[in-house]
A and B are shown apart, each in its own frame.
Chain A
Amino acid sequence: GENVEQHPSTLSVQEGDSAVIKCTYSDSASNYFPWYKQELGKRPQLIIDIRSNVGEKKDQRIAVTLNKTAKHFSLHITETQPEDSAVYFCAAAGGTSYGKLTFGQGTILTVHP
């Protein structure tokens, strides 16, 4: 089955800095890669996703890049704000269903004012 590795496990930045989180996946059939933000005790919230036919996608301060050959994808957050502090999960899904997700282990992002 699919295996997703996520790094780093914790990331501490100063407000206004950029943050980068990286993930690798094992199954070359995976074709959908969402990123979720989760605050303590709350539901995962989709912040951006990318499909395998696209190399990069951007939404305001958030961007995701995908390298299919190397089987890795990354989340980039620019101009970080304290409210960006949360746990971030990458995930991968393949085939005809984008709902059966394999998640990475999560990154605890702390943005210091």
Chain B
Amino acid sequence: AAGVIQSPRHLIKEKRETATLKCYPIPRHDTVYWYQQGPGQDPQFLISFYEKMQSDKGSIPDRFSAQQFSDYHSELNMSSLELGDSALYFCASQLQRVSPLHFGNGTRLTVT
């Protein structure tokens, strides 16, 4: 079965650089969520999109932005990177808003 695809799997950036993370949801899933998981921490909700519109916002820094495109894939853009942004970033999708989430394998971002 198709799963949520995230790219890249690993990304190394320097402080103050920018990064773009991509997420391709499971076909027919219309809702995408982004989560950030720091080392030894639980995942934290960042932002979500339903039918290409932002549906909810969590603890996402102003330096980050995201969008969902017409083909339902989503991108998380991160600017002015800080050391504290080093984390696993997970994208998840769902078929309906009251169905379970399906997580991608994540992007490990390292900021040096």
Give the complex CA separation of A43 and B35 in angstroms.
11
Of A11-19, A64-72, A77-85, A91-99, the stretch lying at the interface with chain B is: A91-99
- Of all chain A residues, the one with the shortest Cβ separation from B6 is A43
Given contacts A43-B106, A99-B31, A99-B48, are A89 and B100 in contact (CB under 8 A)? no
Interface of A, secondary structure class, is loop
| Pair B88/A96 contact, Cβ less than 8 Å | no
Tell me, rounded to whole Å, the shortest Cβ–Cβ distance linking B90 to chain A.
6
Q: List 15 A-B contacts (CB under 8 A).
A: A32-B98, A34-B101, A43-B103, A43-B106, A46-B100, A97-B55, A97-B56, A97-B97, A97-B98, A98-B94, A99-B33, A99-B92, A100-B33, A100-B48, A103-B43
Q: Spell out B's residues near A (CB within 8 Å).
A: 31, 33, 35, 42-45, 48, 55-56, 58, 88, 90, 92, 94, 97-101, 103-106, 108
| Pair B100/A96 contact, Cβ less than 8 Å | no
Name A89's contact: one of B42, B90, B97 (CB within 8 Å).
B42
Q: Does A113 contact B (CB under 8 A)?
A: no
Tell me, rounded to whole Å, the shortest Cβ–Cβ distance linking A110 to chain B.
16
Given contacts A97-B55, A99-B92, A100-B48, are A41 and B42 in contact (CB under 8 A)? no
| Pair B100/A101 contact, Cβ less than 8 Å | no
> In which size bucket is the chain A interface?
20 to 34
Q: Does A42 contact B (CB under 8 A)?
A: yes
| Pair B42/A103 contact, Cβ less than 8 Å | yes
- Residues 41-74 of chain A, each 1 if its beta carbon lies under 8 Å from chain B, else 0: 1111110010000000000000000000000000
- Of all chain B residues, the one with the shortest Cβ separation from A46 is B100
Contacting B at CB under 8 A, from A19-50, are 32, 34, 41-46, 49
A101-B43, A101-B45, A103-B44 given; 5 more Cβ-contact pairs under 8 Å = A45-B103, A99-B31, A103-B42, A104-B42, A106-B42
Query: What B residues does A43 contact at CB under 8 A?
Result: 90, 103-106
Give 3 nearest A-B pairs by CB, closest first.
Answer: A103-B42, A43-B103, A97-B97
